[in-house]
């Protein structure tokens, strides 16, 4: 039985049991519990991974609002995140697989590219001056590089609960669960970026929440190094809606090729070209480039 995560909880067998139309089975003994569990084979919930992924895909999953997921992706993989309802908010952390000390640096992503706004053609950078992922397509334009994700204290104050297993889980608490499944801990978690709920910086420095571009938008990231990807789908910290509101997030990844010299993205800006050269030099020395 495939398992995923939603609201900090597994979305496999237990969720399938709730959504199945099959008659309840007794579970008073180990044998009865085993038969009950096996009877759920083939049942699906609205939010869970497809295992195995459909042909041509490396990863296919729907993450419920208040849920999280994670995956290791090969260099060149294309990761498509989609917001079918207009209420998803995909908080993203990236780590170089096997070298987690090289990880997403939101400050350098903004600083090096002279721009706080994400969109097609932008690069997600590490603090080593190298490209972790490139944003190759974007139909949303509503993203955030500045606020990070929500905390347990904030969600408890606002919604009454911020625990990973609670009714309004915080993004950081979900990241901690995803991190632990990849041998990482709290000290490994930097500020995250988020997609599908945007903000703008006012001339006086105030942050204005501008929300979603609406249902049906997507972004596609290309892995420029082997990556460990952590995703938490929770409301944006500045979302003004009083209720904990977050729609499903569709996640699809397929094989592809990393950006190479001659690709327009490689030479789009002097800063980007230097980051790609730094990345290529590093990977070539490791026998990967």
Chain segment 20-41, per-residue pLDDT in tens: 345 566 888 998 889 888 887 8
Element (H, E) at 216: none
- Residue 176 phi, psi (nearest 5): -60, -40
Is residue 145 pLDDT above 70, yes or no?
Answer: yes
pLDDT band at 111 (very low <50, low <70, confident <90, very high): very high
Residue ranges with strand state E in the chain: 5-6, 9-10, 59-63, 67-73, 78-83, 90-96, 99-103, 123-125, 131-138, 143-144, 193-195, 198-201, 207-211, 217-223, 227-233, 249-254
Is residue 7 pLDDT above 70, yes or no?
Answer: no
Per-residue pLDDT tens over the stretch 204-250: 999 999 999 999 999 999 999 999 999 999 999 999 999 999 999 99
Mean of pLDDT values over 191-207 = 96
Residue 133: name the closest of 220, 59, 194 by CA.
220
CA 94 to CA 132: how far, in whole Å? 7
Per-residue pLDDT tens over the stretch 246-264: 999 999 999 999 999 999 9
Radius of gyration of the chain (CA): 20
Is residue 194 pLDDT above 70, yes or no?
Answer: yes
CA 36 to CA 173: how far, in whole Å? 31
CA 17 to CA 210: how far, in whole Å? 39
Joined together, the tokens standing for residue 97 give: 């697989």
C-beta separation of 281 from 131 below 8 A = no
Is residue 121 pLDDT above 80, yes or no?
Answer: yes
Which residues lie below 8 Å from residue 165, measured CB to CB, with a gap of 6+? 7, 8, 9
Q: How much is the pLDDT for 51?
A: 85
Of residues 23 and 134, the one with the higher pLDDT is: 134
Is residue 105 pLDDT above 60, yes or no?
Answer: yes
Q: Residues of 121-147 as b/e, b for ≥16 C-beta within 10 angstroms?
A: bbbbbbebbbbbbbbbebebebbbbbb
Residue 231: name the closest of 253, 199, 211, 210 by CA.
253
Q: How much is the pLDDT for 14?
A: 37
Q: How much is the pLDDT for 46?
A: 82
How many Cα atoms sit within 13 Å of 68 on the Cβ side?
A: 28
Q: How much is the pLDDT for 23?
A: 58
Q: How much is the pLDDT for 248?
A: 98
Mean of pLDDT values over 113-127 = 96
- Residue 262 phi, psi (nearest 5): 100, -25
Q: How much is the pLDDT for 24?
A: 64
Mean of pLDDT values over 43-52 = 84
CA 48 to CA 36: how far, in whole Å? 20
* Across 50-59, 131-140, 161-170, 189-198, least confident range: 50-59
As a whole number, the mean pLDDT across the chain is: 91
Residue 56: name the closest of 80, 38, 25, 35 by CA.
80
Percent of the chain with pLDDT over 70: 91
């Amino acid at each position: 039985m495939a398992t995923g995560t939603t609201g900090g909880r597994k979305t496999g067998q237990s969720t399938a049991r709730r959504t199945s139309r099959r008659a309840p089975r007794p579970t008073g003994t180990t044998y009865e519990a085993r038969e009950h569990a096996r009877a759920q084979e083939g049942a699906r919930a609205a939010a869970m991974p497809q295992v195995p992924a459909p042909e041509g895909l490396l990863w296919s999953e729907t993450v419920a609002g208040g849920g999280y997921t994670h995956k290791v992706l090969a260099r060149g993989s294309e990761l498509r995140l989609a917001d079918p309802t207009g209420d998803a908010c995909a908080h993203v952390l990236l780590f170089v697989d096997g070298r987690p000390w090289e990880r997403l640096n939101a400050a350098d992503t903004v600083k090096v590219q002279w721009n706080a706004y994400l969109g097609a053609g932008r690069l997600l950078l590490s603090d080593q001056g190298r490209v972790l992922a490139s944003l190759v397509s974007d139909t949303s334009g509503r993203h955030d590089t500045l606020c990070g994700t929500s905390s347990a204290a904030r969600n408890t104050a606002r919604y009454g609960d911020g625990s990973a297993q609670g009714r309004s889980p915080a993004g950081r608490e979900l990241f901690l669960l995803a991190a632990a499944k990849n041998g990482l801990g709290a000290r490994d978690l930097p500020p995250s970026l988020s997609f599908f709920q945007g903000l703008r910086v006012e001339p006086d420095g105030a942050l204005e929440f501008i929300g979603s571009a609406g249902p049906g938008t997507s972004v596609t990231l290309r892995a420029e190094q082997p990556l460990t990807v952590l995703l938490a789908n929770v409301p944006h910290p500045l979302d003004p809606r009083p209720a904990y509101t977050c729609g499903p997030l569709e996640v699809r990844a397929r094989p592809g090729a990393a950006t190479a010299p001659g690709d327009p993205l490689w030479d789009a800006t002097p800063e980007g070209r230097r980051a790609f050269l730094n990345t290529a030099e590093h990977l070539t020395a490791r026998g990967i480039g």
